Amino acid sequence: MKFLIFTQILNSMSLPIAQSELIVNADGSIFHLHLLPEHIAENIIVVGDQGRVETVSKHFDKIEYKISNREFTTHTGTYKGKRITVLSTGIGTDNIDIVMNELDALVNIDLKTRTIKDKKTSLNIVRIGTSGALQGDIPVDSFIASSHGLGLDGLMNYYEGLKLCDEPEIATSFMAHSSWLKGLPYPYVVAASTNLLNQIAHDQVQGITATAPGFYGPQGRQLRLTPAMVDLNEKLGSYRYKNYRITNFEMETSALYGLGKLMGHECCTICAIIANRVSKEYSKDYKIPIEKLIVLVLERLAV
């Protein structure tokens, strides 16, 4: 059942959650996002860049709310009659940890009584991102949908429920293939929501997305410092598991998928490829494919 994992993890938490653990602002909003439950829709688009929020919401028929705090900007409105929220997460799995926990709290915790609701709400969360391709045959300005998130970031290892959503056979074979260094975070792999992936990206190229905890060394880039694994990108690009290959690198998907799976939310990522790490090409104007991708996602969410 959809919320079996969620129930297994939280079935002992019937008492009010302490103020230090669930921080609520004086106006009743959740701490970092500064949102109240009525401020969000059940269909949510997440983007990294604050400026991209308006790039999405300019297509809305109307906007009900515009709320900003720190790097988190939220617009909620309607597109072709469907209520949709677009929210900026900032960069990295640490920010995804904040966003996913606080979005879940808005729909599945009573912020006034600080207790978990008996009836759970499942959100549809689509990440629209930018990414670098790890395969030479993936052209710049194309789209890639993430069938899985390969977490090189370590975040989900902090959650007891990881074993309930992880696909360890993929992670284990990747570690063997890449001669993974013991000092690096233990990799994990989580699949996308099949339903949402089919709805949003049924006709797009799909593959495993590697999620890194940084942009330079963790993605094999070398400026003045040498990465611990100088051949990381080659190892990622040459890896195969059954019919899967690692198609691209970014910084959010593994945590989005892992937390979403444990909390009972439907999550998928689709990225515009703005660079190819094999051919060393970079998009001449990445805003053009991003705009096309935004329209595609909105159209398919509105169905």
191 DSSP β-pair partners:
148
Question: Which residues lie below 8 Å from residue 285, measured CB to CB, with a gap of 6+?
Answer: none
Closest CA to 83 of 118, 42, 122: 42
- Tokens 């444990």 locate to 262
The CATH number fitting domain 18-301, selected from 3.40.50.300, 3.90.580.10, 3.30.70.260, 3.40.50.1580: 3.40.50.1580
What residue segments make up the domains of the chain, in order of their start?
A: 18-301
Other C-beta atoms lying within 10 Å of the C-beta of residue 14? 9
Banded model confidence at residue 253, pLDDT cuts 50, 70, 90 = very high
Q: Across-strand partners of 188?
A: 151
CB 3 within 8 A of CB 11: no
pLDDT on residue 74: 98
Sign of the torsion angle spanned by Cα atoms 229, 231, 232, 238 = negative
Segment 68-94, tens digit of pLDDT:
999 999 999 999 999 999 999 999 999
* Res 151: pLDDT: 98
pLDDT of residue 300: 97
Token representation of residue 164 = 């309930």
Regarding pTM above 0.75, the answer is yes
Examine the pLDDT at 98 and tell me if it is beyond 90: yes
Average pLDDT over residues 33-41: 98
What is the overall mean pLDDT for the chain?
95
What would the mean pLDDT of 104-122 be, rounded to a whole number? 97
Distance of CA 120 to the CA centre of its chain: 21
Cβ neighbours, 10 Å, residue 19:
9
Among the listed residues 43, 44, 45, 47, the one whose alpha carbon sits nearest the alpha carbon of residue 250: 47
When pLDDT is cut at 50, 70 and 90, the band that residue 64 belongs to is: very high
209-214 average pLDDT score? 98
* Measured distance CA(172)–CA(114) in Å, rounded: 39
In angstroms, the CA 55 to CA 51 distance is: 7
- What integer is the mean pLDDT of 240-257? 97
pLDDT at 14 over 90: no
Given a cut of 90, whether residue 12 has pLDDT beyond it is no
The predicted structure's pLDDT at residue 4? 47
What tokens were used for 34?
């500064």
